[in-house]
Structure 1
Amino acid sequence: MKTYTLINQLFGKHITHCVLFSVFINLANLAPSIYMLQVYDRVLPSRSNETLIMLTVLSAYFLIAQAALDYLRGRLLAEAAMHLEQNTSTLAIQKHLQDKIAIKKQPSHPLLKDIATLRHFIGSHSLIALLDAPWFIFYLLVIYWFHPLLGNIALAGTVLLVMLALLSEHGSKQFVQTSLPLTRQASQMIDDAYQHSQVICSMHMQPVIIHRWQQRQQQINSATRTFGKLAGKISTHSKLIRQLLQIAMMGAGAYLVIDQHLSSGVMLASTIILGKALAPVESLTGSWKTIVQAMMALRNLSPLLDTPTSKPPILPSTIAGHLNVENVTIFGQRPDIQILRNISLHLEAGKQLAIIGPNGSGKTTLARVLAGATYCDTGSVRLDGINYANGATPQMGQHIGYLPQDLSLLSGTVAENISRFDLADTDHDKIIAASRMAGAHEMILKLPSSYETIIGAGGIQLSGGQLQRIALARALYGQPALVVLDEPNAYLDHDGEQALQDTLLQLKKQGVTTIIITHRPSLTQHADQLLIMNAGRIERFGNRAEILTSPPSSHQVSHA
């Protein structure tokens, strides 16, 4: 029942209709056999042209109807593939992005590849064979009705083919389980190599990278060869069994005709029906690899559809920026490792907080938590009372500006990146206002196409400082209530850092709650409060002036 519900969610009623169409298609499959039976047993002995014409017209009608239904079944399967993509692609992308920001979570399964696998399976002959295969029982009963001897021969052949199909299924499952992880690892290695090509080439690491990739490929090739040998043997034996069955059926039928137990028409009709019964079974024997991959993809997509959809919180018309963090803890890959330990802090709206501390103290992780870019294992993060400890919702995200350490701008124009690709908002004044506030407007005007300059793939290459200014403008776009800046001056020169100081002063005047993670004390001069972190804990937190003037029990200030 659960499987039926899952299939119904993925493909709607399309597969159900295809099953119904398969009923009529397989019943119409009997038309040629019945036609031959009647011609040999009635038309030829009676020499009746009228009967011949009537049988021919009826058989042609059933074959035309079968062809029409077969076409409609194909169209339904195409619609099912579209329904699958529409219902799951968005959920798959959202889950992949959410898994990316969960620190301790393993990399998510490539669900989009599973969707592509299912789409390919729906459009293949494997699914058609799967829909037609159960009808071999009906055909088998028809042959038994003709004569038990013929039925026993057909049953014996079917059992042999089913055994081969099960053997193929076992081999296919082992091959898929072995080769898929290796293929993904090899693909990931190449993607990582492309991403870090400059480092690899500058230090001549190509031979090592290629050798590691070749090791994975050798394992994949070994598994492929093993499965290929098994598949070849099964295919050869399957064809041999089917041909021997045809001969056995024809020979047994001829024996029964000689002994006058059957007519010649029944002999020929039973042979044709046997061929139709075994065709989908033999097709499945050679298609188990595709079927196994589709079943694994279906199983991977099951949790995606079982995940309950939560309603977004109802936000007030304005967000002031009161930030309250309570007992936030984040574990690492192992439960005994804590990246953040019981972090609690309160920041009034419009205040500036500077976070300092040694490397590895958890500053960047805390910045991600405050920006809604990382899930918390325990605790709460509230902005004006709204908890977003499990990631910022789209409604909440528009009130948060975030500048991460890695300058992750997307492929597109400068204006699109600053506006966060908000296609519904065409107000360019907001883009320019954010750029001016970030001190990036004059720099952007000097680009080849100003705000329409394409960056990223297929675009121009910008310096780290230029990218950081554009990313800062993106964080300030739309006048967010909370702005989190992680090392905002890492790539800036003297002029850029001075512009950043002006930006921080403007944010304070506008009453924007601002959090700065930095290693440079110069960026803390406008901060109202100072937080010193060490080993994932808050070591000191309070008024900046009081902490800086307190006795040197917190040597981390000079260290930062």
Structure 2
Amino acid sequence: MKSANGARTTVLAPQLSVVLKKGLMGAVVFSGVINLLALIGPLFMLEVYDRVIPARSIPTLVALGLLVIGVYAVFAVMDIIRSRVMVRIAAVFDDALSAEVFRVIAGASLKAPMAGDPLKPAHELDQIRNFIAGPGMVAFFDLPWMPVYLAVCFYIHPLLGGLTLCMIAVMLVLTWLTDRNTRRLMQESAQVLSLRNQFGQQTHQSAESIAAMGMASRACGYWQQHHARFTALQRQAADVGSFYGGISKALRHMIQSASLGLGAYLVIRGELSGGAIIAASIIVARTLAPAEQIIGTWRSLLSAHLAWQQLRGVFSLFPQPQAKTELPTATQSIQVEGLVVSPPGVQRLTVQGVNFTLAAGSALGVIGPSASGKSSLARVLAGAWQPLRGQVRLDGAALELWSEQARGALTGYLPQSVDLFDASVAQNIARLDAAADDAAIIAAARQAGVHELILQLPQGYDTPVGEGGVNLSAGQRQRIALARALYGEPFLVVLDEPNSNLDAEGERALAQAILAVKARGGIVVVIAHRTGILSVLDQVLVLEQGTQAAFGPRDSVLARPATVPMAVPKVGVAGGVQ
């Protein structure tokens, strides 16, 4: 598989591929033993009807019966082991790709605009795992034994072999017809399911607006539209599958009866024994069983195949991270050179030709009208987006030279739309680090001025914030997200409208936090909409329609006639905004 830039990527690690191949080879071996043991049934019938009954030998019948019981016991053990092997192969496959699927879910919106259900890759992996662990995959292991059973049919009599061969040809045609008539339905139903689930997530997130403005019945109408279309497509696919599946079952029963009739004819002509009739009937049914099972599970096979194609497509956008030389911690500067930015997957420039340098201990305010590219710039500086052209460098090293973990430790980011996880306050501040030091968590909270507020919560730092921070107010969420951005004392702190939900006390805490980062030699970049925070910033960058209109010391930039007048508040003794 190749990534978008042509680099070779590996979906499964080589060692894991070896494990899977060994597991599959084991399943193939078990299938071979099971198919060989399945011949004991017709052989038993042959011996009973051709030898035991004519000889009227009870001891022979008992001996054959005990032998068959032993063989079927081994058959059962082998079948159970094969099923368990397939379940474990499916689990290994799932474990191998689950991290890749999470990377897609977490990062897809940073590569291209999201369309459909964001959890679709996880559903697709579930489909593949269920197919591998189910009976459909086992049928493919039995399929290579069809020629063996067909050869046995020809050995019993050429006419029986020819009858079975004709039926195999009919089964192949039925399989082709099943695929041709279900593939489009399955593809379309997968797309409609994705749209339905996406709309469901949107309504869940917009529950307050829906309830407040009486939109529930109309939203339900949209949901019902998608759901009805999905169920209709599923019903059509099921109808097609059941139609051809029913035909294949009927034909198998018919061919089994036909083999009995043909066998009787051959017995009358003296070309076959009575026991061979029963044996041939069983062998014919066994020959056709894998094809019939494949037709019956074709929808699952097709769903798994389509899911794998989709996963391969999205995996190509996320090549495996390469090991990188560990660089020393940045402590000196950030340089932005000729930055050109476009939202992922969108042919529209939001930032063009931005250049500036900040030394350690600096604080920059980025101002400008709405849609001037301020948030786009913040996302690139924080490493969330990749620029189209230009570079962002920390101590001279471009961001892509740092590993994701190392760059994350150097960066603190507060997005415009605060996003908290359904975990405790402490876990959110610690960036979900299970090994985080409690002292570092509390230090970040103190620096954000939120320590006392957290202590007032029902369980303090162990208080669950709920999904998206629903248990907290907007201001509390923003201040806890600020503490998360400051956790670990990162060198670069990027804050996108950090005071949008803050009261006067929160504004003062934010100003103190910025001053603290400057004092320890860090760099702060603040996307400023409310002007009060500018009083604690050294530099100002003005963006207009995505271009750099002005950059320099705060007072000189704001004093320029071309700059929109912005009053600079006074800073109190403690550094708070007055």
Cα distance per residue 1:515-560 (max 9 Å; x no partner): 010112321222222111111221212222322233x12337589x
What residue in structure 2 maps to residue 24 of structure 1?
A: 33
Give the alignment partner of residue 94 of structure 1, picking from 103, 108, 111: 103
What residue in structure 1 maps to residue 181 of structure 2?
A: 171
How far apart in 2 are the matches of 1:219 and 1:10?
41
How far apart in 2 are the matches of 1:71 and 1:517?
62
What residue in structure 2 maps to residue 421 of structure 1?
A: 432
Give the alignment partner of residue 529 of structure 1, picking from 517, 520, 539: 539
Structure 2 contact 111–345 (Cα < 8 Å) conserved: no
What residue in structure 2 maps to residue 301 of structure 1?
A: 311
Shift of the 3–400 alpha-carbon distance from structure 1 to 2, 3 Å rule, reads: closer
How far apart in 1 are the matches of 2:92 and 2:306?
19
Cα distance per residue 1:480-537 (max 9 Å; x no partner): 1110111111111112212222222222222111101011232122222211111122
Give the alignment partner of residue 340 of structure 2, picking from 329, 333, 341: 329
Give the alignment partner of residue 410 of structure 1, picking from 421, 428, 451: 421
What residue in structure 1 maps to residue 7 of structure 2?
A: none
Give the alignment partner of residue 511 of structure 2, picking from 501, 507, 511: 501
1:251 aligns with 2:261: yes
Structure 2 contact 373–546 (Cα < 8 Å) conserved: yes
Shift of the 194–334 alpha-carbon distance from structure 1 to 2, 3 Å rule, reads: closer
Which is worse superposed, 452-461 or 364-373?
452-461
Shift of 1:105: 6.7
Cα distance per residue 1:93-117 (max 9 Å; x no partner): 0122122223557676722111111
What residue in structure 2 maps to residue 33 of structure 1?
A: 42
Shift of the 458–379 alpha-carbon distance from structure 1 to 2, 3 Å rule, reads: closer
**Counterpart mapping for 1:437-452 below 5 A:** 437-452=447-462
How far apart in 1 are the matches of 2:115 and 2:355?
27
How far apart in 2 are the matches of 1:89 and 1:422?
20
How far apart in 2 are the matches of 1:389 and 1:538?
24
Amino acid in the other structure paired with 1:79: R
1:478 aligns with 2:488: yes
2:370 match: secondary structure: coil
What residue in structure 2 maps to residue 377 of structure 1?
A: 388
1:13 match: secondary structure: helix
Structure 2 contact 113–346 (Cα < 8 Å) conserved: no
How far apart in 1 are the matches of 2:468 and 2:207?
17
What residue in structure 1 maps to residue 322 of structure 2?
A: 311
1:511 match: secondary structure: coil
Give the alignment partner of residue 110 of structure 1, picking from 90, 115, 120: 120
How far apart in 2 are the matches of 1:3 and 1:542?
48
Structure 2 contact 111–344 (Cα < 8 Å) conserved: no
1:230 aligns with 2:240: yes
Cα distance per residue 1:311-363 (max 9 Å; x no partner): 34333443215212223323347764212223332221221111000100110
1:77 aligns with 2:74: no
1:422 match: secondary structure: coil
Shift of the 527–182 alpha-carbon distance from structure 1 to 2, 3 Å rule, reads: same
How far apart in 1 are the matches of 2:66 and 2:311?
48
Shift of the 234–200 alpha-carbon distance from structure 1 to 2, 3 Å rule, reads: same
How far apart in 2 are the matches of 1:429 and 1:141?
75
Shift of the 359–392 alpha-carbon distance from structure 1 to 2, 3 Å rule, reads: farther
How far apart in 2 are the matches of 1:5 and 1:59?
44
TM-score w.r.t. structure 1 length?
0.92
Amino acid in the other structure paired with 1:224: Q
Amino acid in the other structure paired with 2:100: L
1:355 match: secondary structure: strand
Structure 1 contact 10–88 (Cα < 8 Å) conserved: no
Shift of the 87–556 alpha-carbon distance from structure 1 to 2, 3 Å rule, reads: farther
Alignment gaps of 5+ in structure 1: none
TM-score w.r.t. structure 2 length?
0.90
Give the alignment partner of residue 555 of structure 1, picking from 543, 546, 564: 564
Cα distance per residue 1:173-200 (max 9 Å; x no partner): 1221111111111111111001011111
What residue in structure 2 maps to residue 488 of structure 1?
A: 498
2:350 match: secondary structure: strand
What residue in structure 2 maps to residue 455 of structure 1?
A: 465
Which is worse superposed, 234-243 or 265-274?
234-243
Q: How many residues align?
A: 558
How far apart in 2 are the matches of 1:291 and 1:10?
23
Structure 2 contact 360–518 (Cα < 8 Å) conserved: no
Structure 2 contact 20–93 (Cα < 8 Å) conserved: yes
How far apart in 1 are the matches of 2:71 and 2:287?
18
Shift of the 557–343 alpha-carbon distance from structure 1 to 2, 3 Å rule, reads: same
Amino acid in the other structure paired with 2:89: A
**Counterpart mapping for 1:278-297 below 5 A:** 278-297=288-307
Shift of the 485–305 alpha-carbon distance from structure 1 to 2, 3 Å rule, reads: closer
1:156 aligns with 2:166: yes
How far apart in 1 are the matches of 2:23 and 2:558?
69
Shift of the 294–228 alpha-carbon distance from structure 1 to 2, 3 Å rule, reads: closer
**Counterpart mapping for 1:360-375 below 5 A:** 360-375=371-386
Give the alignment partner of residue 527 of structure 2, picking from 507, 517, 532: 517
Structure 2 contact 464–471 (Cα < 8 Å) conserved: no
1:439 match: secondary structure: coil
Amino acid in the other structure paired with 2:40: A
Shift of 1:49: 6.0
Structure 1 contact 10–87 (Cα < 8 Å) conserved: no
2:335 match: secondary structure: strand
What residue in structure 1 maps to residue 364 of structure 2?
A: 353
Amino acid in the other structure paired with 2:102: I
Alignment gaps of 5+ in structure 2: 2-9, 569-578
What residue in structure 1 maps to residue 350 of structure 2?
A: 339
Instruction: Give the fraction of aligned pairs with identical amino acids, expressed as a percent.
Output: 34
How far apart in 1 are the matches of 2:460 and 2:261?
84
Amino acid in the other structure paired with 1:156: C
Which is worse superposed, 269-278 or 64-73?
64-73
Shift of 1:258: 0.6
How far apart in 2 are the matches of 1:556 and 1:79?
67
How far apart in 2 are the matches of 1:172 and 1:391?
48
Amino acid in the other structure paired with 2:148: F
**Counterpart mapping for 1:134-149 below 5 A:** 134-149=144-159
Structure 1 contact 371–392 (Cα < 8 Å) conserved: no
What residue in structure 2 maps to residue 397 of structure 1?
A: 408
Shift of 1:132: 1.2
Shift of 1:51: 5.4
What residue in structure 2 maps to residue 15 of structure 1?
A: 24
What residue in structure 1 maps to residue 73 of structure 2?
A: 64
